[in-house]
Amino acid sequence: MNKNRFAGPQNDLARSAPTPTATPRLGSLDVFLLSVWCGLAAGWLEVATRVFCKKMGVVQPLYLMSRHFLWLGPLSNLLVFSVLGMGLAAMTRVWPRFGGFVSPRLVCALALLPVLLVAGPFIYAEAWFLLLVGVASQLVPALERRPAALRRIVIVSLPGLVGLVLVLAGFVFGGDWLKQHRESGRPLPSAAAPNVLFIVLDTVRADRLSLYGYDRPTTPALERWARQGILFSEARATAPWTLASHASLFTGRWPHELGVKWMTPLGTTATTLPEYFASRGYATAGFVANLIYCSYDTGLDRGFTHYEDYVLERLMALRTASLFDQAVTELSVLSRLVDAGPFRTLRAAIRRSFFPREQRKDAGAINRAFVGWLSQRPEPARPFFVFLNYLDAHSPYVLPPGAAHRFGLEPQSRDDFQVLDDHWTSIDKLRLAPRYRALARDSYDNCIAHLDEGLGKLFDELARRGVLDRTLVIVTSDHGEGLGEHDLFDHGESLYRTEIRVPLLIVPPSALRTRRVVSQTVSLRDLPATIVELAGQGTGSPFPGRSLSRLWADPTTGGDSVADDSVVSELSAPNPLNPNQGRSPAYRGPLVAIAERDHVYIQNTGDGTEELYNERDDPRELINRARAAAFRPVLEHFRARLGQWKGRLREADRKFGNGDPEHPRRP
């Protein structure tokens, strides 16, 4: 009885004491809804961060992805997080305590990760993720205490987030429709106006083409078409890298006038060829394979009604989400560890099937895109200005699957493909066994031959359609490629002949075709003035320079006076990828080169180094004549020419900097 008497009050005391409550956890439905909402929110945060970083010049001034990222980014994140959410919701349903604890923290950390991946790409993603797990651990408990409120916020705000996706998609597609509408509203040019097909073979040096006497038959198709046109034997690019050279090709201005740098796009002050032809009533379209330095990002799309750069086929759209792109990149790196034999074939098949960006657009892809546009364009009677950029000869020098191997060594082993495909830019090529350097040179020749085959097929198709007879065709390159000369590889590293001398072929419409060879040294800077004159659109042209037509119309009046027709090339900074481990002359300072008659003069404006080569007797530029007493008059001549050139540029800046009507700026 005493025991029972004392038991009662103790039980009452125990019942009256506060009992600890279990930590609230989100249910499986809450986890899924949170994942969906976080996917859209992560997408919008990522897009906003990208735009902000570009506008403010933070990290880099280029997006380096399709312009559709504005609306595809949120949708891609939504899909990624929805799939993740379904898995986490299933886990939460099976293991409520564990899943309810881990899932919201993981989702919130991943939702914030894209912002840091974009704003701080030089920090390991794993480090950012660990930091955000800690942040999420502090934020999530507040959500767990109010699951009903969280559910209401998610459900109410989701339609608005989806609506923003539709608004931005409408903005992008509406802009495309507006461009087409404006083009259709412009008066047609005269019936005599020819089409213009402007072809740039990225990274093709002239001396590796049989068109220019190379002993391997790398360009039979170009040789066939050169019999009907004007071939320039000594054409020189204004710069040894893509964007600077293309900017000159489009505007007729020197790279330093345009302000283009390795990651700085073309500005809007100078009129471009597509802008000018569009104003004259031409349909304008561009199809590019170089997705870094020829994409819309660089400003080269200005004036084009239709412009195709990034591939969005199959799963490529998902790579506008940085989380998905980061995961694919990491898996790609891991796959290289077993990249041999059947594994390489499997990896290539996965790339082609799901991620076409990993397989660069070859000549066939560019041809199909152009011919497809040609077949479907709304106004077939309107003449066109079309720009094609081919990347087949650019490193890595690896042929696409099924392409014919024609010359020399063929990559077969795992080491062969890793050197060419994965490591060529980053490794010191001088430390490689001689076989690998020979393999690279042979592979470069094979890539040029594959490109030539693609050009031949395109020309044949255009001829079959009756388009070529009324088309002005220009074929050139933006720069060459070092293959070990001067111990230099790649490009954007020097102003030597290997990187600056490029092919140039002009084939007029059929009624004007004539076979000519122009031996004078010419600059690609004069191509815009040449193209508009040959197309009959020269009146009122805003492009500086002089038409090259004078050199085959009346060769005696061509001359090669640098004072009037400067054949100048420049390089303000070396290739940022540093493919030669600091051996580039540009690491000592900016370079300027002037070519005249048989001589080329190169000055390093940083340390004052001078080089002078007689290219008739020394085409490989092995003997520097700058210190030879016999060449002293030639050296003084070039010094004076360089001074005149710099003086004219300063005068032009003063004269035309305020919008002189003779030198119009783009409005």
What are the pLDDT digits (tens) for 170-214?
A: 999 999 999 999 999 999 999 899 999 999 999 999 999 999 999
Percent of the chain exceeding pLDDT 90 equals 64
* 259 and 134 share one domain: no
Q: Which two tokens stand for residue 333?
A: 């790196």
- Torsion-angle region of 188 (φ positive above 0: left; ψ -120 to 50: alpha; else: beta): beta
Predicted confidence at residue 324, as pLDDT, reads 87
What is the b/e burial string over 511-521, where b = at least 16 CB atoms within 10 angstroms of the residue's CB? eeeeeeebebb
Predicted confidence at residue 143, as pLDDT, reads 78
The bridge status of strand 306-308 relative to strand 283-288 is parallel
Predicted confidence at residue 602, as pLDDT, reads 97
* 384 and 530 share one domain: yes
Residue at 19 is within a domain: no
Least confident range of 122-136, 141-155, 611-625: 141-155
* Paired residues of 307 in beta bridges: 286
Angle between helices 28-56 and 69-94 (to 10 degrees): 150
Q: Which two tokens stand for residue 234?
A: 């000594």
Angle between helices 28-56 and 96-119 (to 10 degrees): 10
Q: Which two tokens stand for residue 94?
A: 């099976």
Under DSSP, the state recorded for 382 is S
Predicted confidence at residue 155, as pLDDT, reads 86
The DSSP H or E segment spanning 288 is: strand 283-288
pTM of the predicted protein model: 0.88
515-538: average pLDDT: 95
302-306: average pLDDT: 96
Q: What distances in angstroms separate CA 62 from CA 59, 297, 303, one per listed residue?
A: 9, 6, 19
In the predicted structure, residue 102 carries a pLDDT above the cut 70: yes
- Which of residues 157, 172, 187 is at a domain's end? 172
* 252 and 390 share one domain: yes
Q: What distances in angstroms separate CA 427 from CA 133, 417, 430, 472, one per listed residue?
A: 37, 14, 9, 42
In the predicted structure, residue 350 carries a pLDDT above the cut 80: no
* 215 and 95 share one domain: no
Predicted confidence at residue 558, as pLDDT, reads 47
Residue type (1 letter), 409: L
Predicted confidence at residue 649, as pLDDT, reads 66
* Paired residues of 350 in beta bridges: none
Residue type (1 letter), 262: W
In the predicted structure, residue 664 carries a pLDDT above the cut 50: no
In the predicted structure, residue 557 carries a pLDDT above the cut 60: no
Predicted confidence at residue 526, as pLDDT, reads 96
Residue at 606 is within a domain: no
DSSP 471-537: EEEEEE-S---EESGGG-EESSS--SHHHHEEEEEEE--GGG---EEEEEEEEGGGHHHHHHHHTT-
Predicted confidence at residue 561, as pLDDT, reads 41
Work out the number of other CB atoms within 10 angstroms of the CB of residue 251. 28
3-state SS, 394-428, equals CCCCCCCCCCCCCCCCCCCCHHHHHHHHHCCCCCC
* 101 and 230 share one domain: no
476-481: average pLDDT: 98
* 125 and 216 share one domain: no
Least confident range of 138-152, 508-522, 551-565, 626-640: 551-565
Predicted confidence at residue 5, as pLDDT, reads 44
Measured CA to CA, the distance from residue 364 to residue 569 in angstroms comes to 32
* Paired residues of 596 in beta bridges: 599
* 246 and 130 share one domain: no
Angle at 459 between CA 294 and CA 546, to 5 degrees: 60
* 424 and 519 share one domain: yes
In the predicted structure, residue 564 carries a pLDDT above the cut 70: no
Nearest to 279 by CA among 174, 380, 388, 182: 182
What residues make up the domain containing 55? 28-172
Nearest to 485 by CA among 372, 378, 621: 621
Residue at 428 is within a domain: yes
* 207 and 134 share one domain: no
pLDDT tens sequence across 256-301:
889 888 888 998 899 999 999 999 999 999 999 999 999 999 999 9
Predicted confidence at residue 7, as pLDDT, reads 46
Measured CA to CA, the distance from residue 409 to residue 654 in angstroms comes to 55
Residue at 657 is within a domain: no
Predicted confidence at residue 657, as pLDDT, reads 45
Report the number of distinct structural domains present in the chain.
Answer: 2
Residue at 53 is within a domain: yes
The values of phi and psi at residue 569, to 5°, are -130, 150
For residue 9, what pLDDT band results from cuts at 50, 70 and 90?
Answer: very low
20-25: average pLDDT: 56
* 206 and 264 share one domain: yes
For residue 560, what pLDDT band results from cuts at 50, 70 and 90?
Answer: very low
* 482 and 537 share one domain: yes
Sign, CA dihedral 551-507-540-307, equals negative
In the predicted structure, residue 57 carries a pLDDT above the cut 90: no
Residue at 593 is within a domain: no
What is the b/e burial string over 96-111, where b = at least 16 CB atoms within 10 angstroms of the residue's CB? eeebbbebbbbbbbbb
- Which of residues 490, 523, 547 is at a domain's end? 547
Residue type (1 letter), 609: T
Q: Which two tokens stand for residue 200?
A: 């740039």
Average predicted confidence (pLDDT) for the chain: 87
83-110: average pLDDT: 92
Q: What distances in angstroms separate CA 428 from CA 425, 494, 576, one per listed residue?
A: 8, 17, 15
- Which of residues 494, 521, 547 is at a domain's end? 547
Measured CA to CA, the distance from residue 75 to residue 94 in angstroms comes to 29
Measured CA to CA, the distance from residue 575 to residue 244 in angstroms comes to 12
For residue 582, what pLDDT band results from cuts at 50, 70 and 90?
Answer: very high
Q: Which two tokens stand for residue 175?
A: 């802009």
For residue 623, what pLDDT band results from cuts at 50, 70 and 90?
Answer: very high
Predicted confidence at residue 656, as pLDDT, reads 39
* 139 and 274 share one domain: no
Chain CA centroid to CA 616, Å: 36
Work out the number of other CB atoms within 10 angstroms of the CB of residue 583. 17
400: number of CA atoms within 13 Å, CB side? Answer: 21
Least confident range of 187-191, 347-351, 652-656: 652-656
Residue type (1 letter), 423: H
Residue at 294 is within a domain: yes
Residue at 353 is within a domain: no
pLDDT tens sequence across 383-435:
999 999 999 999 999 998 889 999 999 998 888 988 998 789 999 999 999 99
Nearest to 284 by CA among 365, 363, 206, 388: 388
- Domain harbouring 541, CATH code: 3.40.720.10
For residue 12, what pLDDT band results from cuts at 50, 70 and 90?
Answer: very low
The values of phi and psi at residue 526, to 5°, are -85, 0
The DSSP H or E segment spanning 184 is: helix 147-185
Nearest to 240 by CA among 12, 434, 594, 497: 497
